[in-house]
Structure 1
Amino acid sequence: MWRVGAIYTLVLIFAILIVGRVVALQLFEGDKWRSKAQTLSQRDVIVHANRGDICAADGRLLASSLPYYQIRMDFRAHGLTDSVFRADVDSLALCLSRFFNDKSARDYRNMLWKAKYRTKKNRYFLINRRKINYNGLKKIKNFPLFRLGKNKGGLICEQENRRIQPHLNLANRTIGYLLEGEQKQKIGKVGIEGAFESELKGVDGISIIQKLSGRWLPVNMVEPKDGNDLITTIDVNYQDVAQSALEQQLIKYNARHGSVVLMEVKTGAIKAIANLGFDEKSQSYKENYNYAIGEATEPGSTFKLASVMALLEDGYVGPMDSVDTGNGVYSFYKEKMRDSHYGGYGKITVQEAFEKSSNVGISKLVNEHYKNKPRSFINRLYEFRLNEPLGLDIKGEGIPSIKYPDDPTWSGVSLPWMSIGYAVEQTPLQTLTFYNAIANDGKMMKPRFVKELRYHGEVIREFDDEVLKSKICSNQTLEYVQNMLEGVVLRGTSRNLRNANYSIAGKTGTAQIADKNKGYKVKVYQASFVGYFPADDPMYSCIVVVNRPNKTKGFYGNQVAGPVFKTIADKVYAMSYSMHPIKVDEESIEPLVPVSLNGFKADLDNVFGELDIEIANEDINSDWVMTSRKDSIIEYKYRTVKKFVVPNVKGMGVQDALYILENAGLRVQVKGMGSVAKQSLRPGSYFKKGDRISISLS
């Protein structure tokens, strides 16, 4: 009995422990285990949103996400039995060999056979590392076995979206690209892709899938919201012209890199931006860095515009005042300033000093008037907004540098050298924005790359023009410098850019830039030209910068950068009909006399009398007349109507034509609207009363 009692006691204790554990699980650990059970039977799967497209101003695609697929095969699919597999494996291997063209059909057959029967991990087997597009996927879905579907044929397609730029490298760096983020997703980091990441990426959705009867099935979903499409200001045609012209010149002068920006004067919209640098690996020019936005360098002579404007604004000089440039060499302390023209220009006007780009002339004027008050000069440059970044949406803008007199590096030669574009730094786009303000009558516009946002074709936001400074100088100064800039092309350093069809205004720049290791000891140059056109009614401004051209081939701004500007301007002018002046041929102007229909003479006499129009042959004896316009008068001609002879009613209104034809005894059928253009019976032929005639109006 004690043995039975001991067993009974143990069973009772064990039962009490089980009940206690059940109660503990329910009351104290229930939430924990229920949550774990749910994770084993449910999963949250992120459904990525479609990234918005980036388009040109006319809607053409500049960047778009296209689906690509990696092909795998599930050899444990329920319907993929041995008999099904063996019946079509040879045919599938042949199709795969022909499609991928990397292995023989025999190799593919051996690979598939091994994956099916000799490999344990034969689920989601990778058929080929190459990812295929949608058209390729449609072909593969028709291959043997794969055409049977996922369950019986085992085909698995893993989708991955790739960002594609259809126009290859056009504005590649400005459009930008995607990089891998912290969570392995692709995000915009560079250019427009990075600046408008939040608008382009959309909102991801969530798919909740649950395990039911051994299979994962979707039970709920939060739908993803696609990203917005972004319409840029870039014109693909202008972009192609700018990039092609720049590349040809870089090749010709064996330059290190260069950039071009074309801007719309009134709005600041960037119509084209090209940045090309020499790639050692491919031995060709590629767009690997946005020099126009990111590279701040010494601009050289293009900065002389700001110096002359400061002198004019402060009232120190006028365009016709003179300055003595001597023999083209002048010393500021121990440093010699030289003009590029050997022997100098002697005594010339301020306007000539600018048009001929005299270093000595401009630096002497600035030093003479600001030597004892350099802060006034620098403050004036600051008023022109040359010391501030443009605040672009695109990241990586270079910081302009115009040091103040209290800077530790300031010296007695700082002022004259700054006046001609040294010891200051500007990016090409910052320089262009300043010149664009001159073309825009003093209003400085912020460069703009984006025009609007669209969601599935509907405009949801428009980007307005943004003014950085409403007026950078007085109207008088504007008038002076606009004439000077036009004079540079007409009489100065850029006479090679003169054009018979339209006028150009601008300024050359030839700067000796510092080498990273050897400073200014090695003569390395940067050539530039910046201006606008047509000069009398500016529509576009443009800057061209060519860095480190081979100095044995040429390095001056008018020689290296100027031709690129002219090529772009010529093509833009040819494609922009609004820029073409309307030529009026005086001889072709028609007299201000109305066109008249043929008709009843008495009615026509009343109309022309009211309009005070002179009539030739007014006394003609005919009830019906034909009219013709001759110079500034109307001339009448006879139109007789004879019995049983088909009248000529061409050119008459329908009312008069019906009156004549029906009174003559004809039955009339009318087609169309307007005046009589055709009649079925030939005028002058005989007819019988009651005959039918058809008249066509137009």
Structure 2
Amino acid sequence: MSLLFILSLRLIWVQFIMGQELQQKAFDARFRNVEVKAKRGVIYDAKGKPLAISVSTDSFYAIPAQVRKANKVDETAAKISQILGMDQAKVKELITKRQAFVWIQRHVPDEKAKALKALNLEGINFVEEPERFYPKGPLAAHVLGFAGIDNQGLNGIEITYDKILSGMPGTIMVEYDAKGQEIPDALHKYVPPQDGNSIYLTIDETIQYIVERELDATMKLRNPKRAGAIVMDPKTGRILAMAARPAFEPNKYKEYDASVWRNFLISDAYEPGSTFKTVTAAGALDEGVVKPTDRFYDPGFIKVGKETVNCWRRGRPHGSQSFVEGVQNSCNPVFVTVGLREGKDVFYRYLYGFGFGKKTNIELPGEATGILVPKERAKDIDLATMSIGQANAVTPIQLITAFAAISNDGWLMKPQLVKEIRDKDGNLVKTIEPEKVRQVISPETSRMLLEILETVVSQGTGKNAYIEGYRAGGKTGTAQKIIPGGGYSSTEFIGSFMGVAPVNDPRVVVLVIVDSPQGIYYGGQVAAPVFKNIVRDTLRYLQVPVQVEPEKLTQNNQKTVRVPNLTGMEIKEARNSLEKLKLKLDIYGDGTKVKAQLPLPGSELPEGGKVILYTSVPAHQGQPETVAVPDLTGKNLAEAKEIVKLLNFNLEVQGSGVVIRQEPEPGMQIAIGSTITVVMEPQSQTTIVPAGP
């Protein structure tokens, strides 16, 4: 009786108390789940144009027990291998495995999938799986990133917003017997997935196209190691375009080296050179330690303790100039003086205020923090070099974000790439509003500095960035690249330009970076024209009204003209050609014909700009053809080589750095093929900083 009572209690316990749990365990023992990924949400541009979509493809799988039961293993394997292009032995191995479920091939192309479906092979089934597709190819690849075969985000926005885009996966449920073996006629249940939400970027497809078009042109023209550009709305921090070269095709990302996937605009820190002088100027003007009318004198260098900081134009110093002229000339001694006036505490306050030394928290993986000289260890020479854009390493996204604050009444905005999240039916889930971080400088300082930067474009080193019809301002930069192990390269440079337009009502700020261009490397030559083309077409696309009348531009001699090819012309003919274009000229030598010219044919200059003509005296009565010796003083090695090559001379170099002396003297007539010897000041004796236009 007692035994019966105990058994009854046990039955009640198992049936009513443990029943649900045991039933679930039995179910789990009988069924195995194979996950089926949901269709990822669409990534749209700011105007709703799709940049990343998911397309349905068929993935084929086998139930090996059913294949064996049909007793047509070899025939089935042969047909599958023929359609899918797989090895027949491999197919046979897959479809006869001792397991309940096995993938044969996923994401099968449509034509092959139709052919395989038509065979209706026993034990061979298919399921629709989403596959990521980028309809614009490489456009915005470094922003979008890519997704893998299992529909998971692996890079870019795809990985940052993976949880939002990926949705809820479905399952294929396969039944096993009590011994864990497959059942030939088992139940196979399919639970469909739930599609992910979609996101709308701040990127504008049209502006993105403009940027990438100009970067492609620069890669062909300058042959740099890499190049990149960012376009931002300074009032909101929203990024309208971001692109880097070399690029990759996200639909075929596996075919590229992983290094190409890297978005150096957010992941790499570099010494920005003279573009950073905008930050130095902003803090100094805001603190009142310098006024636009303050006077400075540039002898070509400045002493800071025992160290010497050179101006990029040491051989032809700027001499006496106002602060505004110092900005126009990108004069290093002026900015060193201003930085030292600010002092360490003030300088670092603005350095931190503009966000340097920490992440901007842009919605992309792999953002770097940059490298700052620790404040407690900073000496006067560090302050001096930081003032002109060396010693500290910043990321391009940090730099453009700081410049956007200068253009936005001093308000620093968080850079933004995503503005909306919507569900699969298009219903709004979340709006991401622009985020103010802090006010760094006053609106008055902001407007004052923008007016100064406008003169850099109209009168200074940024003339190649001048945009007819719009008021643009900006700053050039030419930075020596750091050599691994320490020191600076004398042959590789990063040319850049950072600007804003229109300066009286900023709509866009743009940073252009050209890393290690071949030949000419100054930012004013290699990056400013890219800025000009991007901003001109962007403002027209945004329907920003033209601000200056064409006739007013002519009166102000600010219209740009293309330099003609004058090589081989008589001097008189070349002079007439330049006068018609309202260009000035300097003539080197006593010859009657033009041997070479700078700038090169096809370059753009503002009206009133200067063209240097090098003349030759033809061979006569046994005397060789002679050409005037160019002035190489203050030039770097790469620039000196280019000029000497134009004139068919040889170059002998002593030392490194910039040219401080040359033989023969400039202006002398010497035979073509002769050697010019230049003496260059070693970097070990002085801080060489050719960070200029």
Q: TM-score, normalised by structure 2?
A: 0.67
Give 1:137's aligned residue: 113
Secondary structure at the aligned position of 1:298 is classed as: coil
The aligned amino acid for 1:394 is L
Is the Cα–Cα contact under 8 Å of residues 173 and 287 in structure 1 kept in the other structure?
A: no
Q: Does 1:234 pair with 2:203?
A: yes
State the alpha-carbon separation in 1 of the partners of residues 548 and 385 from structure 2: 46
State the alpha-carbon separation in 2 of the partners of residues 220 and 137 from structure 1: 19
Q: Which of 331, 337, 345 is 2:309 aligned to?
A: 337
Alpha-carbon spacing, 1:572–1:136, altered in 2? closer, same or farther (3 Å): farther
The aligned amino acid for 1:383 is G
State the alpha-carbon separation in 1 of the partners of residues 261 and 151 from structure 2: 20
Q: Does 1:243 pair with 2:197?
A: no
Q: Which of 378, 389, 397 is 2:348 aligned to?
A: 378
State the alpha-carbon separation in 2 of the partners of residues 73 and 380 from structure 1: 65
Secondary structure at the aligned position of 2:215 is classed as: helix
Is the Cα–Cα contact under 8 Å of residues 528 and 544 in structure 1 kept in the other structure?
A: yes
State the alpha-carbon separation in 2 of the partners of residues 525 and 162 from structure 1: 42
Q: Does 1:453 pair with 2:385?
A: no
Alpha-carbon spacing, 1:134–1:365, altered in 2? closer, same or farther (3 Å): same
Is the Cα–Cα contact under 8 Å of residues 433 and 444 in structure 1 kept in the other structure?
A: yes
State the alpha-carbon separation in 2 of the partners of residues 42 and 424 from structure 1: 60
The aligned amino acid for 2:530 is V
Give 1:399's aligned residue: 369
Secondary structure at the aligned position of 1:245 is classed as: helix
Q: Does 1:517 pair with 2:477?
A: no
Q: Does 1:299 pair with 2:268?
A: no
Q: Does 1:317 pair with 2:282?
A: no
Secondary structure at the aligned position of 1:465 is classed as: coil
Give 1:504's aligned residue: 472
Q: Does 1:204 pair with 2:169?
A: yes
State the alpha-carbon separation in 2 of the partners of residues 523 and 156 from structure 1: 62
State the alpha-carbon separation in 2 of the partners of residues 125 and 380 from structure 1: 62
State the alpha-carbon separation in 2 of the partners of residues 377 and 34 from structure 1: 70
Shift of residue 526 of structure 1? 1.2
Is the Cα–Cα contact under 8 Å of residues 494 and 558 in structure 1 kept in the other structure?
A: yes
Shift of residue 201 of structure 1? 1.9
Alpha-carbon spacing, 1:129–1:37, altered in 2? closer, same or farther (3 Å): closer
Alpha-carbon spacing, 1:521–1:53, altered in 2? closer, same or farther (3 Å): closer
The aligned amino acid for 1:542 is V
Is the Cα–Cα contact under 8 Å of residues 363 and 419 in structure 1 kept in the other structure?
A: yes
Is the Cα–Cα contact under 8 Å of residues 43 and 52 in structure 2 kept in the other structure?
A: yes
Give 2:520's aligned residue: 554
Q: Does 1:489 pair with 2:453?
A: no
When Rg is computed on C-alpha atoms for both structures, the one with the higher figure is 1
Shift of residue 475 of structure 1? 3.2
Q: Does 1:577 pair with 2:543?
A: yes
Q: Does 1:195 pair with 2:160?
A: yes
Alignment of 1:55-134 (within 5 A): 55-71=44-60, 131-134=107-110
Alpha-carbon spacing, 1:490–1:398, altered in 2? closer, same or farther (3 Å): same
Secondary structure at the aligned position of 2:216 is classed as: helix
State the alpha-carbon separation in 1 of the partners of residues 189 and 493 from structure 2: 67
Residues 25-34 or 474-483, more deviating: 25-34
Alpha-carbon spacing, 1:574–1:66, altered in 2? closer, same or farther (3 Å): same
Q: Which is bigger in relative contact order (C-alpha 8 A, separation at least 6)?
A: 2
Q: Which of 208, 211, 217 is 2:187 aligned to?
A: 217
Shift of residue 22 of structure 1? 9.6
Shift of residue 34 of structure 1? 6.5
Q: Which of 424, 431, 434 is 2:402 aligned to?
A: 434
State the alpha-carbon separation in 1 of the partners of residues 357 and 101 from structure 2: 60
Secondary structure at the aligned position of 1:203 is classed as: coil
Q: Which of 530, 537, 540 is 1:564 aligned to?
A: 530
Alpha-carbon spacing, 1:79–1:527, altered in 2? closer, same or farther (3 Å): closer
**How many residues end up aligned between the 2 structures?**
533
Q: TM-score, normalised by structure 1?
A: 0.67
Is the Cα–Cα contact under 8 Å of residues 176 and 190 in structure 1 kept in the other structure?
A: yes
Is the Cα–Cα contact under 8 Å of residues 67 and 134 in structure 1 kept in the other structure?
A: no
Question: Any idea what the Cα deviations from partners look like across 1:98-144, whole Å, max 9, x if unmatched?
Answer: x65x59xxx98x999x899xx966999999858423454235434xx
Question: Any idea what the Cα deviations from partners look like across 1:522-576, whole Å, max 9, x if unmatched?
Answer: 54311111111223322111101122223xx111111111122122122213323
State the alpha-carbon separation in 1 of the partners of residues 102 and 176 from structure 2: 25
Alpha-carbon spacing, 1:36–1:353, altered in 2? closer, same or farther (3 Å): closer
Is the Cα–Cα contact under 8 Å of residues 38 and 168 in structure 2 kept in the other structure?
A: yes
State the alpha-carbon separation in 2 of the partners of residues 219 and 124 from structure 1: 13
Question: Any idea what the Cα deviations from partners look like across 1:1-50, whole Å, max 9, x if unmatched?
Answer: xxxxxxxxxxxxxxxxxx99999996999969866654444445545432
Give 1:264's aligned residue: 233
Is the Cα–Cα contact under 8 Å of residues 278 and 284 in structure 1 kept in the other structure?
A: no
Residues 163-172 or 127-136, more deviating: 127-136
Is the Cα–Cα contact under 8 Å of residues 278 and 285 in structure 1 kept in the other structure?
A: no
Is the Cα–Cα contact under 8 Å of residues 409 and 441 in structure 2 kept in the other structure?
A: no
Alpha-carbon spacing, 1:334–1:251, altered in 2? closer, same or farther (3 Å): farther
Q: CA RMSD in A?
A: 4.1
Alignment of 1:30-41 (within 5 A): 37-41=26-30
Q: Which of 273, 289, 313 is 2:242 aligned to?
A: 273
State the alpha-carbon separation in 2 of the partners of residues 205 and 130 from structure 1: 16
State the alpha-carbon separation in 2 of the partners of residues 157 and 530 from structure 1: 54
Is the Cα–Cα contact under 8 Å of residues 276 and 288 in structure 1 kept in the other structure?
A: no
Secondary structure at the aligned position of 2:457 is classed as: helix
Question: Any idea what the Cα deviations from partners look like across 1:387-409, whole Å, max 9, x if unmatched?
Answer: 443222323222144435412xx
Alpha-carbon spacing, 1:166–1:21, altered in 2? closer, same or farther (3 Å): farther
Q: Does 1:52 pair with 2:41?
A: yes
Q: Which runs of 5+ in 2 are unaligned?
A: 178-182, 249-253, 551-693
State the alpha-carbon separation in 2 of the partners of residues 267 and 58 from structure 1: 17
Shift of residue 329 of structure 1? 1.9
Residues 283-292 or 257-266, more deviating: 283-292
Secondary structure at the aligned position of 2:187 is classed as: strand
State the alpha-carbon separation in 1 of the partners of residues 26 and 490 from structure 2: 74
Secondary structure at the aligned position of 1:424 is classed as: coil
Alpha-carbon spacing, 1:74–1:41, altered in 2? closer, same or farther (3 Å): closer
State the alpha-carbon separation in 1 of the partners of residues 172 and 255 from structure 2: 45
The aligned amino acid for 2:353 is E
Is the Cα–Cα contact under 8 Å of residues 37 and 151 in structure 2 kept in the other structure?
A: no
Q: Which runs of 5+ in 1 are unaligned?
A: 1-18, 585-698
Alpha-carbon spacing, 1:554–1:209, altered in 2? closer, same or farther (3 Å): same
Question: Any idea what the Cα deviations from partners look like across 1:129-180, whole Å, max 9, x if unmatched?
Answer: 58423454235434xx33xxx6xx5542255433222222222222123469
State the alpha-carbon separation in 2 of the partners of residues 574 and 404 from structure 1: 44
Secondary structure at the aligned position of 1:58 is classed as: coil
The aligned amino acid for 2:329 is K
Is the Cα–Cα contact under 8 Å of residues 31 and 174 in structure 2 kept in the other structure?
A: yes
Alpha-carbon spacing, 1:346–1:111, altered in 2? closer, same or farther (3 Å): closer
State the alpha-carbon separation in 1 of the partners of residues 25 and 151 from structure 2: 31
Is the Cα–Cα contact under 8 Å of residues 472 and 503 in structure 2 kept in the other structure?
A: yes
Secondary structure at the aligned position of 1:271 is classed as: strand
Is the Cα–Cα contact under 8 Å of residues 282 and 406 in structure 2 kept in the other structure?
A: no
Q: Which of 348, 353, 359 is 2:321 aligned to?
A: 348
State the alpha-carbon separation in 1 of the partners of residues 36 and 64 from structure 2: 26
Is the Cα–Cα contact under 8 Å of residues 294 and 322 in structure 2 kept in the other structure?
A: yes
The aligned amino acid for 2:185 is R
Is the Cα–Cα contact under 8 Å of residues 275 and 289 in structure 1 kept in the other structure?
A: no
Alpha-carbon spacing, 1:245–1:219, altered in 2? closer, same or farther (3 Å): closer
